[in-house]
Amino acid sequence: MIISVSALAILVKVAFAVTVAAPFILLFLLMKDNKRKTLW
């Protein structure tokens, strides 16, 4: 199973983007949850 360099580079970029975006996504979800808590 040979993985091409370009495919590997794309995977690295995607993994990096997900790692960078994850905290922002979690923060966004927490903010939405905080707004929902007022309705509880």
Provide the pLDDT for residue 17: 96
Provide the pLDDT for residue 2: 74
Provide the pLDDT for residue 39: 54
| Residue whose pair of structure tokens reads 């370009």 in the numeric block | 6
pLDDT digits (tens, 9 = 90+) for 5-38: 999 999 999 999 999 999 999 999 888 887 766 6
Spell out the domain ranges in the chain: 1-40
Q: How far apart are CA 11 and CA 23, in angstroms?
A: 19
Provide the pLDDT for residue 8: 93
- The pTM of the full predicted model, rounded to 2 decimals, is 0.52
Q: Find the largest Cα–Cα distance for the chain.
A: 53
